[in-house]
Amino acid sequence: MARASIYDRISQKREAAEALARQQAEQEREAAEAQSRMPIAVPVLPLNAQQNALRIAGLHLQMPEGCGFRSIETTLELAGCEATFAARYRRAPEGLDLPHAVELYVKNLRERHVDMTLVRQGEALLAGHSAIAVDYVFTSGQERRHGRSVCAIISNDEGAPRQWLDVSTQINPDQSRMADWLIEFDAMLAGMTAQ
């Protein structure tokens, strides 16, 4: 029986080591792909209707204990342009689901802005809770406006009534300096924290 030469044995070991390295690299790539497909866990932030505060120009204004929040609307200035920011918090009727609540919200928008056009509607998250984001356009005076609203119905585990929370913004989309505002708005909502 002829024995393989030392060079053949070295070559076979090298080929086996290369095949093993390729197999390990493929397994690592598959594991990385599987990891990237896994949803990132977003913390669900609890609502505390009795704890409210505002931060204005770096000043923190704490509302008195028991002071409930209902709505706020403000005008923000960014790069010399204005954007509105609004948030509303209400009790949500039992049995009202989020898609139907958003339908009513959009109907209300159409009543306020007769020429409103719904641009897009899709799933979103608001403070870790399931939400629906709505983008729409309308005319205010001579100005075009683009609005984005993120709406959620929030339940808590302690048996408190379900709550409706919507956060929205409106801008003039023709102002180039506002091009990144909707991205910043989404990032601002993604960065919400509970105190």
- 52-99 tens-digit pLDDT: 777 888 888 888 887 877 888 999 998 899 999 999 988 888 888 999
DSSP 98: H
Q: Is the pLDDT of residue 169 over 70?
A: yes
Q: What pLDDT band is residue 1 in, cutting at 50, 70 and 90?
A: low
Residues 6 or more apart whose CB falls under 8 angstroms from that of 136 comprise 106, 109, 113, 116, 117, 118, 119, 146, 147, 148, 149
Q: Give the whole-angstrom CA distance, residue 182 versus residue 146.
A: 10
Distance CA 38, CA 116 (A): 37
Query: Which CATH architecture describes the domain 53-190?
Result: 3-Layer(aba) Sandwich (3.40)
* Least confident residue range of 19-23, 47-51, 99-103, 113-117: 47-51
To the question of pTM greater than 0.85 for the whole model, the response is no
pLDDT digits 0-9 by tens, 7-48: 677 778 778 878 888 888 888 877 777 666 655 666 777 666
Integer Cα distance of 111 and 113 in angstroms:
6
Q: How many other CB atoms are found less than 10 A from the CB of residue 153?
A: 22
Mean pLDDT to the nearest integer, 90-110: 92
Sort 19 into a burial class: Cβ within 10 Å, 0-12 / 13-18 / 19+: exposed
- The domain ranges of the chain are 1-38, 53-190
